[in-house]
Amino acid sequence: MERRTFGRTGVAVPVIGQGTWMLERTDRRSALAALRRGLDLGLLHVDTAELYGSGRVEELVGEAIAGRRDEVYLVSKVLPKNASTAGAIAACERSLRRLRTDRLDCYLLHWPGSHPIADTIAGFEHLRRDGKIGAWGVSNFGVGELEEAAAVAGATRIACNQVLYHLEERSIEHEVMPWCEARGVAVVGYSPFGSGRFPSSWSRAGRVLGDIAAAHCVSPRQVALQFLVRRSSLFAIPKAGRVAHVEDNAAAATLVLTDDDVARLNAAFPRGRRGRGVPTL
Ligand code: NAP
């Protein structure tokens, strides 16, 4: 599995990881088997949140990574309502207990909320000094919110911005991605398969995707994943509750798209209009 430096953290992180949203709805044995198979295949960037299953997903992740903590790049997120200075510290400690670990590699603010970002960052910096998190970042931040965070802490402190990014939702490419790339902030694309709304093979664009996949003898999702990590700032975190899906996703790492493939995907799945702010689900 290819790794690249995660923002300015200096840590080399696998380009394809594992999401865990709604994993509590999957049969527990299947979910654990999928996560563990993912770890075996190098999908070691594991993304979770206190929100997911109201903590149950963090417990599941804790069980899946037990005995393998050092291999994993573990990311969790604080809810905006908990993101005061003291609230973020307490939320992180609860997450650590559920995850059965003493540290997160990166801790994110799940989306911008009503607590001043300076207060949240003060909590994150406290946790970092205490060794409870290796780095911190944000999620669902547009350029205005990124500027505010950078004004408080300096952009180099923001490890990543985790944002919606898939073939049919490329609007971060207009402003958010260039802002992050100019400052060395990693861009983690969430819902790389449209959160279950993957392009239909019957659509015109879906047929282009299918043709490219057939030419490489891979699946359309592998083509999508490789396209979504085609730049050095990019990471993707597909969620899969089945071993077969995890295996399919991990195999995307070895696919090499040609310039012609990328041009055809750019034409079939255009970036869309500018000026819509940061997209969310
Ligand atoms: P997604 O990864 O775009 O899609 C997940 C769906 O795709 C599931 O139904 C899964 O099925 C299916 N799937 C996965 N691999 C497949 C394969 N190889 N072939 C066929 N189907 C496949 O959706 P997501 O969960 O919305 O996004 C991924 C992760 O991003 C989340 O889990 C979460 O960690 C993160 N996220 C973050 C935010 C945020 O606000 N920061 C928001 C949304 C998501 P099975 O489960 O049955 O395998």
Q: Worst-scoring range by mean pLDDT, 23-27, 161-165, 271-275? A: 271-275
CA 193 to ligand 1 centroid distance, Å: 6
Model confidence pLDDT, tens digit, residues 81-122: 999 999 999 999 999 999 999 999 999 999 999 999 999 999
- Cβ of 182 less than 6 Å from ligand 1: no
| Terminal-to-terminal C-alpha distance of the chain | 28
80 CB within 6 A, ligand 1: no
**Cα–ligand 1 centroid distance for 18 (angstroms):** 8
DSSP 59-78: HHHHHHHTT-GGG-EEEEEE
pLDDT interval class at 274 (50, 70, 90) = confident
**Contact (Cβ atoms closer than 8 angstroms) between residue 139 and residue 108:** yes
Residue among 202, 199, 209, 205 at smallest CA distance from 261: 209
Residue 240 alpha carbon, nearest atom of ligand 1 = 48
**Ligand 1 geometric centre to CA of 144 (Å):** 27
Of 229, 218, 118, whose CA–CA distance to 166 is shortest?
229
CA distance 9 to 74: 14
Q: Could you tell me if 137 and 112 are in contact, meaning their C-beta atoms sit under 8 angstroms apart? A: no
What backbone torsions phi and psi does residue 23 show, to the nearest 5 degrees? -70, -20
Q: Cα angle vertex 186, ends 232, 240, to 5°?
A: 90
| CA 249/CA 17 separation, integer angstroms | 9
Ligand 1 neighbour 141 (Cβ under 6 A): no
> For the ranges 125-134, 136-145, 238-247, 266-275, which has the lowest average pLDDT?
266-275
The CB of 238 under 6 Å from ligand 1? The reply is yes
Q: Which of 220, 224, 222, 164 is nearest to 189 (CA)?
A: 164
**Closest atom of ligand 1 to CA, residue 196:** 6
pLDDT confidence of residue 171: 95
Q: Decide: 98 in ligand 1 pocket, CB within 6 A.
A: no
- Read off the DSSP letter of residue 199: P
Angle at 53 between CA 112 and CA 171, to 5 degrees: 40
The token duo for 17 is: 């990881």
Tokens of 77: 């997120």
Which residues share a beta bridge with 45? 73
Ligand 1 in contact with 149 (CB < 6 A)?
no
Sequence-distant (≥ 6) Cβ neighbours of residue 72 within 8 angstroms: 39, 44, 45, 46, 65, 105
Tell me the residue ranges of DSSP E strands in the chain.
3-5, 12-14, 45-47, 73-78, 104-109, 133-139, 158-164, 186-190, 234-236
237 Cα to the center of ligand 1, angstroms: 8
Q: Would you say the CB of residue 139 lies under 6 angstroms from ligand 1?
A: yes
Rounded to the nearest angstrom, the gap between the alpha carbon of residue 270 and the centroid of all alpha carbons in its chain is 22
| Confidence at residue 76, expressed as pLDDT on a 0 to 100 scale | 98
Can you name the residues that pair with 187 across neighbouring β-strands?
161, 234
Q: State in Å: Cα 116 to ligand 1 middle.
A: 30
> What's the confidence (pLDDT) of residue 273?
80
Strand pairing class (12-14; 3-5): antiparallel
For the segment 35-85, what is each residue's pLDDT rounded down to a tens digit? 999 999 999 999 999 999 999 999 999 999 999 999 999 999 999 999 999
Residue 158 is encoded by which pair of tokens? Answer: 């923001």
Q: 224 alpha carbon to ligand 1 midpoint, in Å?
A: 13
Q: Atom 34 (ligand 1): residue with closest C-alpha? A: 19
Model confidence at 275: pLDDT above 90: no
What does the pLDDT look like over 208-264, one tens digit per residue? Answer: 999 999 999 999 999 999 999 999 999 999 999 999 999 999 999 999 999 999 999
Q: What is the pLDDT of residue 276?
A: 67
Residue 17 Cβ contacting ligand 1 at under 6 Å? no
